[in-house]
């Protein structure tokens, strides 16, 4: 059990991984050839960009964390050994150690401004790195060299980078899903509008081919003219039988109710 714990602690705090390149390599810059096909092409140092898919706020905060960590751990280079302002400040006994710890805590404070909360285990390891770095510096002379090799701020920046890389992948996944949903909705609405417009198109074609009226536009019923005016009907003489048994004619004047006997 003791061997396991010792191996875990040694690997966690002193071992090098992809995220904590804390030997002679620079974790903030990478060397890239201008022409990958030509081995003799010029090599340039490019700043390692933040993960793609982060919000603007997270990107700015991560760049600020990287910039401060670089100044505290990698700003100077003497005989291939890189160190920053924390290594210079820690030369002053006690006061320098306290100031270096305060600088590390100021970087730690920035992670509370991220849009996505940092898990508690990352908080724990960040604080452990800061405390371990402070305790190393309390050792006279040797502690300063251990601090230069340990580089607590860069380790903490690597932990934050790992968390933000996970967040960026999740954001890209949800953005792709939202775009697919939007495209599906637009396709469904287009198909629906096309289907609802088919009956009108069929009705219009039918009216043009067969000469009928489109549905919903029936021809109104027109009045039928029989060629006989109502006035001539009213003025037509009528035959009536009088009291003497003879036949007389009556003609309507102005209205059917007013008649004149002849």
Tens of pLDDT, residues 25-56? 566 766 777 777 777 777 777 777 777 888 88
SS3 of the chain: helix, strand, coil, percent, to 5: 55, 15, 30
Structure tokens at 15: 């071992």
| pLDDT score of 128 | 94
Residue of 54, 47, 59, 19 lying closest to 167 (CA atoms): 54
| pLDDT score of 179 | 64
> Taking residues 236-242, what's their average pLDDT?
50
| pLDDT score of 184 | 64
| pLDDT score of 195 | 54
> Taking residues 216-224, what's their average pLDDT?
49
CA–CA gap between residue 124 and residue 109 (Å, rounded): 13
Q: What contacts 155, CB < 8 A, 6 or more positions away? A: 13, 20, 22, 129
Residue of 159, 144, 153, 156 lying closest to 75 (CA atoms): 153
- The residue that leads in pLDDT, 240 or 86, is 86
Average pLDDT, the chain: 72
- Residue 98 DSSP code: H
* pLDDT exceeds 50 at position 241: no
CA–CA gap between residue 81 and residue 26 (Å, rounded): 11
């Amino acid at each position: 059990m003791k061997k396991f714990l010792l191996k875990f602690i040694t690997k966690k705090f002193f071992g090098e991984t992809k995220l904590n390149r804390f030997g002679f390599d620079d974790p903030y810059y990478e060397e890239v050839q201008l022409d990958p096909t030509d081995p003799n092409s010029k090599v340039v140092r490019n700043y390692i960009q933040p993960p793609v898919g982060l919000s603007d706020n997270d990107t700015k905060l991560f760049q600020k964390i990287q910039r401060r960590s670089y100044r505290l751990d990698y700003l100077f280079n003497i005989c291939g050994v890189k160190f920053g302002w924390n290594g210079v400040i820690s030369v002053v006994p006690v006061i320098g150690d306290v100031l270096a710890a305060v600088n590390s805590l100021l970087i730690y404070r920035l992670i509370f401004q991220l849009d996505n909360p940092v898990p508690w285990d990352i908080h724990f390891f960040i604080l452990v790195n800061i405390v371990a770095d402070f305790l190393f510096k309390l050792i006279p002379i040797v502690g300063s060299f251990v601090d230069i090799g340990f580089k607590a701020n860069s380790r903490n920046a690597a932990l934050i980078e790992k968390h933000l890389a996970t967040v960026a992948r999740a954001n890209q996944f949800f953005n792709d899903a939202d775009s697919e949903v939007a495209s599906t909705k637009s396709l469904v609405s287009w198909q629906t509008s096309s289907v609802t417009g088919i009956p009108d198109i069929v009705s219009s074609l039918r009216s043009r081919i067969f000469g009928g009226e489109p549905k919903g536009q029936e021809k109104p019923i027109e009045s039928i003219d029989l060629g006989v005016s109502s006035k001539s009907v009213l003025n037509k003489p009528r035959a009536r039988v009088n009291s003497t048994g003879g036949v007389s004619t009556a003609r309507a004047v102005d209205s059917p109710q007013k008649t004149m006997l002849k």
